[in-house]
Every structure is written in structure tokens, then in C-alpha cells.
Structure 1
Amino acid sequence: MGMLKEFKEFAFKGNVIDLAVGVIIGAAFGKIVSSLVEDVITPLLLNPALKAVGAENIAQLSWSGVKYGNFLSAVISFLCIAFVLFLLIKGANKLKKEEVAAPAGPSSTDKLLMEIRDELKKQ
């Protein structure tokens, strides 16, 4: 029973549950970002650029049997996803900075003056 009790304590700690929630939300967020890149950014930006250079179907590019087009497609997709994530995180950090910081506690001089004031009130 000792091992079962240890497992229960481990599994229901806040850190493990927070991690599980983070992984689930991360997977869902990954789908959102992938859809944004594949369904919005690629048709609007990447497809016109590829048509301009005459490479409409980049995944079909090959040279001597080496399908380097698939690799280029994956690299371009990665760069698009990384850029979108960069913009989202940059926006989130900007919102964080706008939050007002809590005022700092009294300085040591202020504390000393408050102690003197309190002592004078007692007399």
C-alpha cells in the first residue's frame, strides 16, 4: 500500500495537474496556430509568392529522386509557425508590462520614522 499512497501523492500534486492542463491547452493551441498558418497565412502570402517564382506545388519538387520540396515545405511551415508564435508572445508580454506594479513597501528610513512616531504617540 505504500507505493499506491506515494503514487497518489505524486499524481495529485498541483505541479502534475498543472503540467497536464498545460499539455492539453498546448496541444489545442498548436492546432489553432497550425490552422492559422495553413488556412490563412499560406493562402494569403505564401501561395502568391510561390506562383510568382513558378513553384506552385513546392512539395513536389525533387532532384534525382530526392524530394527536397517536402523538406522546404516543412521549413517554410516551421518558419511561419515560429513567426506567428513570436508575434503572439510579443503581444502577450506587452499586455503584461502594462499591468501596474504593486507599490513598493516603505523604505528603511520611512520604517524608522514610523517607529519614532509610534514611540512618541505612546508617551
Structure 2
Amino acid sequence: MTYNSEEMQQILEVAFKRQQDGEYTREQIREIALELGVSSESLQAAEHAWLKKAVEVKQGQMSNNQKRKEFKSHLFIFIAVNSFLVLLNLVVSPSYFWAIFPLLGWGLGLLLHGIKTYLSNS
């Protein structure tokens, strides 16, 4: 039976997934690549591309975590300040609810911040 390169790659991926108990050293990967006819230059380029992609993914995760922390901080400050303004409004001039204006304005900004943080892919 013969296999094309795509089928060979799929078979090897299944075999590697089944062997989940161990890790591979760089030397073991190099030996496997040599047995498969992959040049050391191609292997080195592939490793470099993989490492670069892994770093980008890690930075993206860190960036997303930072954005979420900043939004939570913004939300906490929004709640604290606007609670104070509503209480101040109720004490000083209960007949006119002026606290609604900063509440709505800032609330719109907070909503946009939340959308940017949790719904955008960038």
C-alpha cells in the first residue's frame, strides 16, 4: 500500500497523539525528520516559524488578559463614582435627577470599552 504526503502526515499525527505520555527532545525530532527525508534546514525553519507563532499566541493571550483587567478596573471606578454621584444627587437636590447625565455618558463609554475588550478579535 502507498500513501501520499498528506496521508503520511495524517497517519503520523495520529501516531504522535497516541503517544501522549512522553516529550520529544530536539535530537529525537531531528532523527525523525531525517528518517522522513526532511532536511535540517527545513526543520530549522519550521522550528523557528513554530516558535515565532507560539510567542505571538502568548503575547496575544497576555494582551487580552491585560485588556480585561483594564476593563474591570474601569467598571469598578464607574460603579464607585456613579454611586457617589447618585447619593450626592439624592441628598443635595432630590427633586432634579442630574446624576443621570454623567451616568449615561460614562455608561456609553464603558459599554464601548466592554465591546472592544470582549467582542473584538484584535
TM-score by length of 2: 0.33
Q: Using CA pairs under 8 Å that are at least 6 residues apart, name the structure with larger relative contact order, 1 or 2.
A: 2
TM-score by length of 1: 0.33
